[in-house]
Amino acid sequence: MKKYSVLVVGMGKRGMHHAAAFNANPKFQVTGICDIDAKRLADAAAKLGGPQTGGAAAALAKAVKPDVFCFCTLPNLRTPMIKAALGCGAKLIAFEKPVALTSAEALDMRDLIRKAGVKAVVSHQHRYGKHYQKVQEIVASGALGRVHTVYGTATGWMTHILSHLIDYSMWFNNYSPGTWAMAQAAGKFKLNDNHPSPDYLAGFVQFANGVRGIYECGAGAPDQPEVAKWWGKNRMGAQGTEGFAEVLTNGGWRAVTRSRGFESGEGAMNYDADMPPYIQEMADWLDDDQKVHPCNLDHALLGAEVMLALQRSAAEGGQIALPLTDGADEQALLKSNLTDKPVLVSCEQNRKEFGLT
Ligand SMILES: NC(=O)c1ccc[n+]([C@@H]2O[C@H](COP(=O)([O-])OP(=O)(O)OC[C@H]3O[C@@H](n4cnc5c(N)ncnc54)[C@H](O)[C@@H]3O)[C@@H](O)[C@H]2O)c1
C-alpha cells in the first residue's frame, strides 16, 4: 500500500499529537519534522522513527517533498507556512486553528490555497468526541423542531477557544454562512498573550438560514460549575421549537426534547481518541476527491470570518456584513480601540486566569 509522506512543522504539543497520529495510521509516514528549537527537534525525531529534520520549513519541505504539509505553529505564523506548503507541491495542507489572527491574512491564505487547488484542513478535531457527535445526531434527527438558535460559551480566551465554539455550533446548523455579526469586548490583559485576545468577547451572529448565533468567550463568560477542568468549561448547543441539545467539552452532553424527554451522557475531550479519525479522514480525502474532510478549509473559513467579524464589530461598533469583502487587522483595531478598563469576571477562578489577583 502506498503511504502518504508527511512533513510536520512545529514540534510543540500539537505538532507531536499530529506526528504521532500520522505515524500510527498505516496510510501515513512522517518523513520530515521541523522546529526552530534544536533540542525539541532532536527529542521529537527520536520518538518518531528518525525522519529528516531541519529548522527552516520551506527548505526542508523542498528536500522532503511531502504529500502532506502539516504545521502546528502558534497563531502568529501562518502565511509563510502556506507558501512553504505550496512551494513543495504538497497535495494537502493540515494546520491548526485559528485560521489566522486577522482577516487580511485569512483572505490572502484562502486565495493562495484556492488558486493552487490544494486540499486543506483545519484542526477542529473535538467534533470526533462521542458527546459532540451525540448532540449533532440529535439536532440532525429533527428532535429539536425548528432550530432557531445555536450558541457557544467558554471561559477560555478568544484565540484559543472561539474558533472551536463557532465551528461546532455551525456544524449543528449545517454550516449555513453568517450574514452579519455584532459584538462587544472588554479587557486588554490577554492582548499580549501568544493567543492574543480581548479578555471577554460576546456577540451575535445572523446565519443565512435565519438561525441566531450567540457566543461568549473569556473572563465574563459564565462558569459551568458542573465541569472541573477550566479549559473544559465550553458549552455548545442548539435550541429549537421542541427542545435543546448541548455538549460540554469536559462534561458530557444533555438534551431535553418533546419527543424523547430528558437525555444525557458522558464524554470528555480526549486528543488520543479524537486525532485518529481526524487523520483517517485526511487519507480518505486524499484517496477520493468526493470524500471531502469535514474539517475542510471552506468550513473553517466560514467560522473564521464570523470570528473576525465579531472582533471587528467589537473594535469599531455596529454590525459587520458577511462574507467579509476586504481584509483588516483586527488585532491592531482591538489594541487601539479597547478601553483600559479592567474586565469584570463571572466567577472567582477567572480572576486568576485573567491576571486580576
Ligand atoms: N486543536 C486543538 O485542540 C488545539 C489545542 C491546543 C493548541 N492548538 C493550536 O495549535 C497551535 C500550536 O499550539 P501548541 O500548543 O502546539 O504550541 P507550542 O508552543 O507547544 O508549539 C509550537 C512550536 O512551533 C515551533 N516554532 C515556532 N516558530 C517556528 C518556525 N518558524 N518554524 C518551525 N517551528 C517553529 C516552536 O519552537 C514550538 O515548538 C496553535 O495555533 C494553537 O492554537 C490547537
Determine the Cα–Cα distance for residues 321 and 328; give it in Å rounded to an integer.
13
pLDDT of residue 357: 83
Determine the Cα–Cα distance for residues 16 and 20; give it in Å rounded to an integer.
6
Mean pLDDT of 104-117: 98
Local confidence band at 2 (pLDDT 50, 70, 90 cut-offs): confident
Which three cell numbers, joined as nine digits, stand for 36?
Answer: 526552530
**Close Cβ partners of 286 (under 8 Å, ≥ 6 residues apart):** 4, 27, 67, 68, 91, 92, 119
334: pLDDT strictly greater than 90: yes
Q: Which residue has the cell 471587528?
A: 312
Q: Burial letters for 49-63: b for 16+ Cβ neighbours within 10 Å, e otherwise?
A: eebebbeebbebbee
CB of 32 sitting under 6 A from ligand 1: no
Pocket perturbation via mutation, ligand 1, pick of 73, 122, 166, 236 by most ligand atoms within 8 A of CB: 73
Which three cell numbers, joined as nine digits, stand for 244?
Answer: 435543546
How far, in Å, are 187, 202, 301, 313 from residue 318 at the CA level? 19, 13, 22, 6
pLDDT of residue 160: 98
Determine the Cα–Cα distance for residues 324 and 310; give it in Å rounded to an integer.
11
Q: Which residue has the cell 495542507?
A: 93
Local confidence band at 100 (pLDDT 50, 70, 90 cut-offs): very high
Q: Give the residue from 334, 331, 351 showing the smallest Cα distance to 103.
A: 331
pLDDT of residue 1: 76
How far, in Å, are 31, 35, 36, 48 from residue 39 at the CA level? 18, 9, 9, 14
At residue 211, φ and ψ (nearest 5 deg) are -75, 140
Q: What is the pLDDT of residues 227-282, one digit of tens each?
A: 999 999 999 999 999 999 999 999 999 999 999 999 999 999 999 999 999 999 99
Q: Give the pairing type, strands 92-95 and 252-257.
A: unpaired
Determine the longest span between alpha carbons in the chain, in angstroms.
60
Q: What is the pLDDT of residues 23-32, one digit of tens each?
A: 999 999 999 9
- CA 16 to ligand 1 centroid distance, Å: 10
Beta bridge partners of 6: 30, 68
Beta bridge partners of 29: 5
CA-nearest residue for atom 1, ligand 1, is 123
42: pLDDT strictly greater than 90: yes
Determine the Cα–Cα distance for residues 115 and 266; give it in Å rounded to an integer.
43
Q: Give the residue from 230, 229, 234, 260 showing the smallest Cα distance to 247.
A: 234
- CA 72 to ligand 1 centroid distance, Å: 5
In sequence order, what DSSP letters do the residues of 147-165 get, joined into one string? Answer: EEEEEEEESS-HHHHHHHH
Which three cell numbers, joined as nine digits, stand for 172?
Answer: 449543528
Determine the Cα–Cα distance for residues 345 and 196; give it in Å rounded to an integer.
18
Mean pLDDT of the chain: 97
353: pLDDT strictly greater than 90: yes
- CA 80 to ligand 1 centroid distance, Å: 15
CB of 33 sitting under 6 A from ligand 1: no
Q: What is the pLDDT of residues 267-322, one digit of tens each?
A: 999 999 999 999 999 999 999 999 999 999 999 999 999 999 999 999 999 999 99
CB of 57 sitting under 6 A from ligand 1: yes
Which three cell numbers, joined as nine digits, stand for 33?
Answer: 519534522
Mean pLDDT of 142-171: 98
Contact at 8 Å (CB) between 280 and 25?
yes
Which three cell numbers, joined as nine digits, stand for 124?
Answer: 477542529
pLDDT of residue 255: 98
Q: Hey, which bits of the chain come out as E strands?
A: 4-9, 28-34, 52-54, 68-71, 92-95, 119-122, 147-154, 178-186, 200-207, 212-218, 235-240, 243-248, 252-257, 261-265, 320-321
In sequence order, what DSSP letters do the residues of 235-291 get, joined into one string? Answer: EEEEEETTEEEEEETTTEEEEEETTTEEEEE-----HHHHHHHHHHHHHHHHH-TTS
CB of 75 sitting under 6 A from ligand 1: yes
Local confidence band at 327 (pLDDT 50, 70, 90 cut-offs): very high
CB of 9 sitting under 6 A from ligand 1: yes
pLDDT of residue 186: 98
